[in-house]
Protein backbone atom coordinates (compact mmCIF):
# COMPACT_ATOMS: atom_id res chain seq x y z
CA UNK A 1 0.00 0.00 0.00
CA UNK A 2 1.36 3.37 -1.04
CA UNK A 3 5.00 2.30 -1.14
CA UNK A 4 6.26 5.68 -2.20
CA UNK A 5 7.43 7.44 0.13
CA UNK A 6 12.13 26.03 -3.14
CA UNK A 7 10.64 28.75 -2.87
CA UNK A 8 7.32 30.19 -3.94
CA UNK A 9 8.73 30.92 -7.38
CA UNK A 10 5.82 30.45 -9.64
CA UNK A 11 6.51 27.94 -12.34
CA UNK A 12 9.53 25.65 -12.68
CA UNK A 13 11.74 26.13 -15.70
CA UNK A 14 10.90 24.51 -18.99
CA UNK A 15 13.92 22.22 -18.74
CA UNK A 16 13.71 19.30 -18.77
CA UNK A 17 10.98 19.32 -21.37
CA UNK A 18 7.91 17.18 -20.92
CA UNK A 19 9.18 15.20 -23.88
CA UNK A 20 12.39 14.50 -21.97
CA UNK A 21 10.46 13.48 -18.87
CA UNK A 22 8.35 11.10 -20.95
CA UNK A 23 11.41 9.58 -22.56
CA UNK A 24 13.18 9.05 -19.24
CA UNK A 25 10.04 7.69 -17.57
CA UNK A 26 9.42 5.38 -20.50
CA UNK A 27 12.89 3.94 -20.14
CA UNK A 28 12.35 3.35 -16.41
CA UNK A 29 9.03 1.72 -17.14
CA UNK A 30 10.66 -0.70 -19.54
CA UNK A 31 8.84 0.78 -22.52
CA UNK A 32 10.45 0.46 -25.92
CA UNK A 33 9.20 0.03 -29.44
CA UNK A 34 10.54 -3.52 -29.51
CA UNK A 35 9.07 -4.38 -26.13
CA UNK A 36 5.65 -3.08 -27.03
CA UNK A 37 5.69 -4.87 -30.36
CA UNK A 38 6.66 -8.14 -28.69
CA UNK A 39 3.92 -7.93 -26.10
CA UNK A 40 1.25 -6.59 -28.43
CA UNK A 41 1.80 -8.50 -31.63
CA UNK A 42 -1.82 -7.99 -32.64
CA UNK A 43 -1.73 -4.19 -32.30
CA UNK A 44 -3.33 -2.62 -35.36
CA UNK A 45 -1.13 -1.23 -38.09
CA UNK A 46 -3.64 1.30 -39.42
CA UNK A 47 -2.59 4.91 -39.08
CA UNK A 48 -4.64 7.84 -37.82
CA UNK A 49 -5.31 10.83 -40.04
CA UNK A 50 -4.77 13.49 -37.39
CA UNK A 51 -1.29 14.89 -36.59
CA UNK A 52 0.71 12.88 -34.06
CA UNK A 53 0.79 13.91 -30.42
CA UNK A 54 4.55 13.38 -30.06
CA UNK A 55 6.50 16.62 -30.54
CA UNK A 56 8.40 16.54 -33.82
CA UNK A 57 7.91 12.80 -34.26
CA UNK A 58 7.73 11.79 -37.92
CA UNK A 59 5.16 9.01 -37.54
CA UNK A 60 1.48 8.97 -36.81
CA UNK A 61 -0.50 7.37 -33.97
CA UNK A 62 -2.04 3.96 -34.60
CA UNK A 63 -5.80 3.70 -34.99
CA UNK A 64 -7.50 0.56 -33.61
CA UNK A 65 -9.64 -1.54 -35.91
CA UNK A 66 -13.18 -2.80 -35.40
CA UNK A 67 -14.46 -5.22 -32.76
CA UNK A 68 -17.95 -6.72 -32.43
CA UNK A 69 -19.06 -8.29 -29.16
CA UNK A 70 -22.33 -10.13 -29.72
CA UNK A 71 -24.74 -12.40 -27.92
CA UNK A 72 -24.05 -11.32 -24.37
CA UNK A 73 -26.17 -9.32 -21.94
CA UNK A 74 -24.92 -5.74 -22.11
CA UNK A 75 -25.10 -3.93 -18.77
CA UNK A 76 -25.40 -0.17 -18.22
CA UNK A 77 -24.14 0.64 -14.69
CA UNK A 78 -25.69 4.11 -14.72
CA UNK A 79 -29.27 2.95 -15.23
CA UNK A 80 -29.02 -0.67 -14.18
CA UNK A 81 -30.59 -1.67 -17.50
CA UNK A 82 -29.47 -4.71 -19.45
CA UNK A 83 -29.84 -5.72 -23.11
CA UNK A 84 -30.11 -9.46 -23.58
CA UNK A 85 -28.55 -10.96 -26.72
CA UNK A 86 -27.05 -7.53 -27.31
CA UNK A 87 -24.45 -6.31 -29.78
CA UNK A 88 -21.63 -3.88 -29.13
CA UNK A 89 -19.77 -2.39 -32.09
CA UNK A 90 -16.41 -0.69 -31.57
CA UNK A 91 -14.49 1.07 -34.31
CA UNK A 92 -11.65 3.58 -34.38
CA UNK A 93 -11.32 3.50 -30.62
CA UNK A 94 -14.94 4.45 -29.94
CA UNK A 95 -18.31 2.79 -29.41
CA UNK A 96 -20.22 3.16 -32.66
CA UNK A 97 -23.33 1.22 -31.68
CA UNK A 98 -24.80 -0.67 -28.74
CA UNK A 99 -28.20 -2.33 -28.54
CA UNK A 100 -30.28 -5.13 -29.91
CA UNK A 101 -29.33 -7.02 -33.05
CA UNK A 102 -31.91 -5.06 -35.05
CA UNK A 103 -30.77 -1.69 -33.70
CA UNK A 104 -27.12 -2.38 -34.49
CA UNK A 105 -27.59 -4.07 -37.87
CA UNK A 106 -26.27 -1.13 -39.93
CA UNK A 107 -23.24 -0.58 -37.67
CA UNK A 108 -22.38 -4.26 -37.93
CA UNK A 109 -22.67 -4.13 -41.71
CA UNK A 110 -20.35 -1.11 -41.82
CA UNK A 111 -17.48 -3.08 -40.26
CA UNK A 112 -18.29 -6.47 -41.78
CA UNK A 113 -15.24 -8.27 -43.09
CA UNK A 114 -12.73 -6.27 -41.05
CA UNK A 115 -13.97 -6.65 -37.48
CA UNK A 116 -12.79 -9.08 -34.83
CA UNK A 117 -15.93 -10.83 -33.56
CA UNK A 118 -16.26 -12.02 -29.96
CA UNK A 119 -19.13 -14.34 -29.09
CA UNK A 120 -20.28 -13.47 -25.56
CA UNK A 121 -23.37 -15.69 -25.55
CA UNK A 122 -24.33 -16.74 -22.05
CA UNK A 123 -22.15 -14.02 -20.51
CA UNK A 124 -22.37 -10.36 -19.52
CA UNK A 125 -20.72 -7.37 -21.17
CA UNK A 126 -19.73 -4.42 -19.01
CA UNK A 127 -17.79 -1.21 -19.56
CA UNK A 128 -14.06 -1.36 -18.91
CA UNK A 129 -13.30 -1.04 -15.20
CA UNK A 130 -11.82 2.13 -13.70
CA UNK A 131 -9.43 1.70 -10.75
CA UNK A 132 -9.31 4.93 -8.75
CA UNK A 133 -6.01 4.18 -6.97
CA UNK A 134 -3.09 2.27 -8.52
CA UNK A 135 0.71 2.57 -8.50
CA UNK A 136 1.84 1.39 -11.95
CA UNK A 137 5.47 1.95 -12.83
CA UNK A 138 6.15 -0.37 -15.76
CA UNK A 139 4.62 -1.77 -18.90
CA UNK A 140 4.26 -5.14 -17.19
CA UNK A 141 2.19 -3.52 -14.43
CA UNK A 142 -0.11 -2.01 -17.03
CA UNK A 143 -0.55 -5.35 -18.78
CA UNK A 144 -1.58 -7.10 -15.55
CA UNK A 145 -4.15 -4.39 -14.86
CA UNK A 146 -5.60 -4.85 -18.35
CA UNK A 147 -5.87 -8.61 -17.87
CA UNK A 148 -8.08 -7.98 -14.83
CA UNK A 149 -10.41 -5.72 -16.80
CA UNK A 150 -9.00 -2.34 -15.73
CA UNK A 151 -9.00 -0.15 -18.84
CA UNK A 152 -8.51 3.16 -17.01
CA UNK A 153 -6.99 4.18 -13.71
CA UNK A 154 -5.96 7.09 -11.55
CA UNK A 155 -2.35 6.87 -10.47
CA UNK A 156 -1.57 6.93 -6.78
CA UNK A 157 1.85 8.42 -7.69
CA UNK A 158 5.03 7.01 -9.21
CA UNK A 159 8.71 7.37 -8.43
CA UNK A 160 10.04 9.00 -11.60
CA UNK A 161 7.00 10.08 -13.64
CA UNK A 162 6.51 6.61 -15.12
CA UNK A 163 2.76 7.15 -14.89
CA UNK A 164 3.08 10.23 -17.13
CA UNK A 165 4.78 8.07 -19.74
CA UNK A 166 2.17 5.33 -19.43
CA UNK A 167 -0.57 7.91 -19.94
CA UNK A 168 0.93 8.78 -23.34
CA UNK A 169 0.92 5.19 -24.60
CA UNK A 170 -2.76 4.60 -25.51
CA UNK A 171 -2.67 7.39 -28.09
CA UNK A 172 0.22 5.72 -29.89
CA UNK A 173 -0.18 2.01 -29.18
CA UNK A 174 -3.80 1.19 -28.28
CA UNK A 175 -3.96 -1.67 -25.83
CA UNK A 176 -0.47 -1.13 -24.40
CA UNK A 177 -1.72 0.46 -21.18
CA UNK A 178 -4.98 1.44 -19.56
CA UNK A 179 -5.89 5.10 -19.85
CA UNK A 180 -4.18 6.95 -17.01
CA UNK A 181 -4.68 10.07 -14.96
CA UNK A 182 -1.05 10.44 -13.81
CA UNK A 183 -0.11 11.87 -10.42
CA UNK A 184 3.65 12.12 -10.81
CA UNK A 185 5.51 12.30 -7.50
CA UNK A 186 3.89 11.78 -4.11
CA UNK A 187 3.62 15.09 -2.22
CA UNK A 188 5.27 13.83 0.95
CA UNK A 189 7.98 15.14 3.31
CA UNK A 190 10.69 12.73 2.15
CA UNK A 191 11.27 12.19 -1.56
CA UNK A 192 14.32 9.94 -1.39
CA UNK A 193 15.73 9.22 -4.85
CA UNK A 194 12.62 10.66 -6.44
CA UNK A 195 14.31 14.03 -5.99
CA UNK A 196 16.36 12.94 -9.03
CA UNK A 197 13.28 12.79 -11.23
CA UNK A 198 13.68 16.45 -12.14
CA UNK A 199 16.53 18.98 -11.76
CA UNK A 200 13.99 21.56 -10.59
CA UNK A 201 13.54 19.46 -7.44
CA UNK A 202 17.18 19.94 -6.39
CA UNK A 203 16.39 22.89 -4.05
CA UNK A 204 14.12 20.62 -2.02
CA UNK A 205 17.05 18.33 -1.16
CA UNK A 206 18.48 21.09 1.05
CA UNK A 207 15.47 21.20 3.36
CA UNK A 208 16.46 20.06 6.85
CA UNK A 209 12.97 19.02 7.93
CA UNK A 210 11.73 17.68 4.63
CA UNK A 211 9.02 19.18 2.46
CA UNK A 212 6.64 20.61 5.04
CA UNK A 213 6.52 24.38 4.49
CA UNK A 214 3.35 25.35 2.55
CA UNK A 215 5.46 27.24 -0.02
CA UNK A 216 7.61 24.16 -0.66
CA UNK A 217 4.55 21.94 -0.89
CA UNK A 218 3.09 24.31 -3.45
CA UNK A 219 6.36 24.30 -5.39
CA UNK A 220 6.50 20.49 -5.58
CA UNK A 221 2.87 20.45 -6.67
CA UNK A 222 3.63 22.90 -9.48
CA UNK A 223 6.62 20.86 -10.65
CA UNK A 224 4.33 17.83 -10.89
CA UNK A 225 1.80 19.72 -12.99
CA UNK A 226 4.51 21.09 -15.25
CA UNK A 227 5.80 17.59 -15.90
CA UNK A 228 2.43 16.16 -16.91
CA UNK A 229 0.63 15.19 -13.69
CA UNK A 230 -3.14 15.50 -14.09
CA UNK A 231 -4.02 14.71 -10.48
CA UNK A 232 -2.04 15.26 -7.27
CA UNK A 233 -1.42 12.73 -4.52
CA UNK A 234 -0.57 13.76 -0.97
CA UNK A 235 -1.01 12.51 2.57
CA UNK A 236 -2.32 13.39 6.00
CA UNK A 237 -0.90 10.35 7.81
CA UNK A 238 1.94 7.80 7.58
CA UNK A 239 1.53 4.39 5.96
CA UNK A 240 -0.33 1.56 7.62
CA UNK A 241 1.66 -1.03 5.70
CA UNK A 242 4.96 -0.29 7.45
CA UNK A 243 5.06 -1.70 11.00
CA UNK A 244 7.46 1.00 12.20
CA UNK A 245 5.04 3.77 11.24
CA UNK A 246 1.91 4.86 13.11
CA UNK A 247 -0.83 5.63 10.57
CA UNK A 248 -2.66 7.76 13.13
CA UNK A 249 0.11 10.34 13.44
CA UNK A 250 -0.32 13.58 11.54
CA UNK A 251 2.01 14.31 8.63
CA UNK A 252 0.27 17.31 7.07
CA UNK A 253 -2.40 19.47 8.71
CA UNK A 254 -5.22 21.41 7.09
CA UNK A 255 -3.01 24.44 6.34
CA UNK A 256 -0.39 22.34 4.59
CA UNK A 257 -2.96 20.34 2.66
CA UNK A 258 -4.75 23.54 1.65
CA UNK A 259 -1.48 24.77 0.11
CA UNK A 260 -1.34 21.63 -2.03
CA UNK A 261 -4.98 21.93 -3.09
CA UNK A 262 -4.56 25.60 -3.99
CA UNK A 263 -1.38 24.95 -5.99
CA UNK A 264 -3.09 22.08 -7.81
CA UNK A 265 -5.27 24.68 -9.57
CA UNK A 266 -8.27 22.43 -9.97
CA UNK A 267 -6.41 19.18 -10.54
CA UNK A 268 -8.09 16.69 -8.24
CA UNK A 269 -6.11 15.93 -5.09
CA UNK A 270 -6.28 12.45 -3.61
CA UNK A 271 -5.21 12.25 0.01
CA UNK A 272 -3.86 9.23 1.89
CA UNK A 273 -5.50 9.53 5.32
CA UNK A 274 -6.26 7.22 8.25
CA UNK A 275 -6.84 9.18 11.46
CA UNK A 276 -10.02 11.10 12.21
CA UNK A 277 -8.02 14.33 12.47
CA UNK A 278 -6.11 13.69 9.26
CA UNK A 279 -9.21 12.81 7.27
CA UNK A 280 -11.11 15.81 8.56
CA UNK A 281 -8.26 18.20 7.74
CA UNK A 282 -7.99 16.79 4.22
CA UNK A 283 -11.71 17.15 3.59
CA UNK A 284 -11.74 20.74 4.87
CA UNK A 285 -8.70 21.52 2.74
CA UNK A 286 -10.78 20.61 -0.30
CA UNK A 287 -9.27 17.35 -1.55
CA UNK A 288 -11.20 15.47 -4.23
CA UNK A 289 -11.04 12.13 -2.47
CA UNK A 290 -10.00 10.41 0.74
CA UNK A 291 -7.89 7.29 0.29
CA UNK A 292 -8.19 4.51 2.92
CA UNK A 293 -10.12 6.56 5.53
CA UNK A 294 -10.34 3.91 8.25
CA UNK A 295 -11.13 6.18 11.20
CA UNK A 296 -13.38 8.69 9.45
CA UNK A 297 -15.78 10.32 11.91
CA UNK A 298 -19.52 10.80 11.56
CA UNK A 299 -18.99 14.57 11.51
CA UNK A 300 -16.46 14.31 8.69
CA UNK A 301 -18.73 12.01 6.71
CA UNK A 302 -21.37 14.74 6.83
CA UNK A 303 -18.79 17.26 5.60
CA UNK A 304 -17.82 14.90 2.76
CA UNK A 305 -21.44 14.76 1.69
CA UNK A 306 -21.70 18.54 1.79
CA UNK A 307 -18.53 19.05 -0.25
CA UNK A 308 -18.94 16.12 -2.62
CA UNK A 309 -15.70 14.50 -1.44
CA UNK A 310 -15.26 10.98 -2.79
CA UNK A 311 -14.10 8.02 -0.70
CA UNK A 312 -11.66 5.40 -2.04
CA UNK A 313 -11.51 2.90 0.82
CA UNK A 314 -9.04 0.41 -0.77
CA UNK A 315 -10.63 -2.34 1.30
CA UNK A 316 -8.45 -5.23 0.19
CA UNK A 317 -5.30 -3.25 0.95
CA UNK A 318 -6.48 -2.83 4.55
CA UNK A 319 -7.95 -6.28 5.19
CA UNK A 320 -5.01 -8.12 3.60
CA UNK A 321 -2.73 -6.86 6.38
CA UNK A 322 -4.46 -9.35 8.66
CA UNK A 323 -2.76 -12.13 6.68
CA UNK A 324 0.70 -10.61 7.08
CA UNK A 325 3.52 -12.63 8.61
CA UNK A 326 4.51 -9.50 10.50
CA UNK A 327 2.71 -9.54 13.88
CA UNK A 328 2.30 -5.75 14.00
CA UNK A 329 0.70 -5.62 10.56
CA UNK A 330 -1.43 -8.69 11.23
CA UNK A 331 -2.77 -7.13 14.44
CA UNK A 332 -3.34 -3.85 12.64
CA UNK A 333 -5.27 -5.58 9.87
CA UNK A 334 -7.47 -7.45 12.32
CA UNK A 335 -8.19 -4.27 14.28
CA UNK A 336 -8.79 -2.03 11.28
CA UNK A 337 -10.88 -4.30 9.04
CA UNK A 338 -14.20 -4.23 10.94
CA UNK A 339 -13.82 -0.50 11.69
CA UNK A 340 -13.09 0.17 8.03
CA UNK A 341 -16.01 -1.92 6.83
CA UNK A 342 -18.37 -0.03 9.15
CA UNK A 343 -16.94 3.30 7.92
CA UNK A 344 -17.62 2.38 4.30
CA UNK A 345 -21.18 1.39 5.11
CA UNK A 346 -21.82 4.55 7.13
CA UNK A 347 -20.35 6.79 4.43
CA UNK A 348 -22.36 5.09 1.70
CA UNK A 349 -25.61 5.30 3.66
CA UNK A 350 -24.96 8.99 4.34
CA UNK A 351 -24.56 9.71 0.63
CA UNK A 352 -20.78 9.80 0.14
CA UNK A 353 -19.78 8.58 -3.32
CA UNK A 354 -17.64 5.46 -2.96
CA UNK A 355 -15.13 4.68 -5.70
CA UNK A 356 -13.20 1.44 -6.11
CA UNK A 357 -9.42 1.51 -5.84
CA UNK A 358 -7.02 -1.33 -5.10
CA UNK A 359 -3.86 0.58 -4.10
CA UNK A 360 -1.99 -2.09 -6.07
CA UNK A 361 1.71 -1.55 -6.63
CA UNK A 362 3.87 -2.87 -9.45
CA UNK A 363 3.18 -6.47 -10.43
CA UNK A 364 1.42 -7.13 -7.10
CA UNK A 365 -2.01 -6.34 -8.52
CA UNK A 366 -5.30 -7.00 -6.78
CA UNK A 367 -8.00 -7.47 -9.44
CA UNK A 368 -10.50 -4.63 -9.18
CA UNK A 369 -13.26 -7.23 -9.11
CA UNK A 370 -12.03 -8.25 -5.65
CA UNK A 371 -12.47 -4.68 -4.41
CA UNK A 372 -15.97 -4.58 -5.90
CA UNK A 373 -16.89 -7.77 -4.06
CA UNK A 374 -15.59 -6.35 -0.77
CA UNK A 375 -17.64 -3.18 -1.30
CA UNK A 376 -20.69 -5.36 -1.81
CA UNK A 377 -19.88 -7.25 1.39
CA UNK A 378 -19.56 -3.91 3.21
CA UNK A 379 -23.15 -3.01 2.38
CA UNK A 380 -23.25 -1.65 -1.16
CA UNK A 381 -25.64 -3.38 -3.54
CA UNK A 382 -24.05 -5.25 -6.46
CA UNK A 383 -25.09 -2.38 -8.74
CA UNK A 384 -23.66 0.31 -6.45
CA UNK A 385 -20.44 -1.66 -6.04
CA UNK A 386 -20.22 -1.95 -9.82
CA UNK A 387 -20.80 1.79 -10.21
CA UNK A 388 -17.88 2.38 -7.83
CA UNK A 389 -15.64 0.70 -10.43
CA UNK A 390 -17.27 2.24 -13.50
CA UNK A 391 -19.49 5.32 -13.65
CA UNK A 392 -18.49 6.88 -10.32
CA UNK A 393 -14.76 6.39 -10.87
CA UNK A 394 -15.06 7.64 -14.44
CA UNK A 395 -16.77 10.80 -13.22
CA UNK A 396 -14.11 11.41 -10.58
CA UNK A 397 -11.40 11.05 -13.23
CA UNK A 398 -13.11 13.46 -15.61
CA UNK A 399 -14.21 10.83 -18.12
CA UNK A 400 -17.94 10.89 -17.46
CA UNK A 401 -19.90 9.90 -20.56
CA UNK A 402 -16.83 8.33 -22.17
CA UNK A 403 -15.63 5.74 -19.63
CA UNK A 404 -17.74 3.70 -17.24
CA UNK A 405 -20.61 3.18 -19.73
CA UNK A 406 -21.01 1.61 -23.15
CA UNK A 407 -22.65 4.41 -25.12
CA UNK A 408 -22.23 5.66 -28.67
CA UNK A 409 -19.16 7.89 -28.86
CA UNK A 410 -17.71 6.53 -25.63
CA UNK A 411 -14.39 4.82 -25.17
CA UNK A 412 -13.97 1.43 -26.84
CA UNK A 413 -13.30 -0.28 -23.49
CA UNK A 414 -15.29 -3.37 -22.55
CA UNK A 415 -15.13 -6.46 -20.36
CA UNK A 416 -16.91 -9.81 -20.71
CA UNK A 417 -17.62 -11.68 -17.46
CA UNK A 418 -19.16 -15.03 -16.57
CA UNK A 419 -21.78 -13.81 -14.08
CA UNK A 420 -24.42 -11.11 -13.78
CA UNK A 421 -22.89 -8.05 -12.05
CA UNK A 422 -26.36 -6.68 -11.30
CA UNK A 423 -27.06 -9.55 -8.91
CA UNK A 424 -23.65 -11.03 -8.07
CA UNK A 425 -21.13 -8.85 -6.25
CA UNK A 426 -18.30 -11.16 -7.28
CA UNK A 427 -19.13 -11.13 -11.00
CA UNK A 428 -16.37 -8.72 -11.96
CA UNK A 429 -13.78 -11.19 -10.66
CA UNK A 430 -14.80 -13.61 -13.42
CA UNK A 431 -13.24 -11.89 -16.42
CA UNK A 432 -13.23 -13.72 -19.76
CA UNK A 433 -12.36 -11.03 -22.30
CA UNK A 434 -11.10 -7.46 -22.26
CA UNK A 435 -11.07 -4.81 -24.97
CA UNK A 436 -9.00 -1.69 -24.28
CA UNK A 437 -9.01 1.27 -26.66
CA UNK A 438 -10.56 -0.96 -29.30
CA UNK A 439 -7.91 -3.69 -29.04
CA UNK A 440 -8.65 -7.19 -27.74
CA UNK A 441 -6.09 -7.64 -24.96
CA UNK A 442 -7.62 -10.77 -23.41
CA UNK A 443 -9.83 -13.39 -25.00
CA UNK A 444 -10.82 -16.60 -23.22
CA UNK A 445 -14.26 -16.96 -24.77
Q: How many CA atoms lie within 13 A of 37 on its CB side?
A: 4
Q: How far apart are CA 315 and CA 313, in angstroms?
A: 5
* Beta-ladder partners of 245: none
Name the CATH architecture for the domain at 128-402.
Answer: Alpha-Beta Barrel (3.20)
Burial class (CB in 10 A: 0-12, 13-18, 19+), 325: exposed
Residue 326's φ and ψ, nearest 5 degrees, are -80, 125
Q: For the chain, what are the domain ranges? A: 128-402
What does each of the 445 residues of the chain score in pLDDT, given as a tens digit? 554 443 333 344 444 444 455 445 544 555 444 444 443 333 333 333 344 456 678 888 888 999 999 999 999 999 999 999 999 999 999 999 999 999 999 999 999 999 999 999 999 999 999 999 999 999 999 999 999 999 999 999 999 999 999 999 999 999 999 999 999 999 999 999 999 999 999 999 999 999 999 999 999 999 999 999 999 999 999 999 999 999 999 999 999 999 999 999 999 999 999 999 999 999 999 999 999 999 999 999 999 999 999 999 999 999 999 999 999 999 999 999 999 999 999 999 999 999 999 999 988 999 999 999 999 999 999 999 999 999 999 999 999 999 999 999 999 999 999 999 999 999 999 999 999 999 999 999 9
63: CB partners within 8 A, 6+ apart:
44, 46, 47, 48, 92, 93, 174
Q: With contact defined as beta carbons under 8 Å apart, do 22 and 165 qualify?
A: yes
Amino acid sequence: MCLHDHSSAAVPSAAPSRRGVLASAAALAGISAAGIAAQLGSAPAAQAAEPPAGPNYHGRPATPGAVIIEGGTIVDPLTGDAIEDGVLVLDGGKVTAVGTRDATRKAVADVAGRATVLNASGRWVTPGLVDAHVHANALSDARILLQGGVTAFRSGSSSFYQDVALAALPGWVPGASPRVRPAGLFISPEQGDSILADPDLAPLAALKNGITDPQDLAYLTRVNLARGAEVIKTRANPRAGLPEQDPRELVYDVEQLSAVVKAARGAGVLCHAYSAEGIDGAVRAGVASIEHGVFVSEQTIAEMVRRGTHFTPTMDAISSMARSSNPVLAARGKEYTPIHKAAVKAAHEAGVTIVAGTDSFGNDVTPLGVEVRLLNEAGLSPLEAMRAATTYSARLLGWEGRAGRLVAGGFADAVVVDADPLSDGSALEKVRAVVAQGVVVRNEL
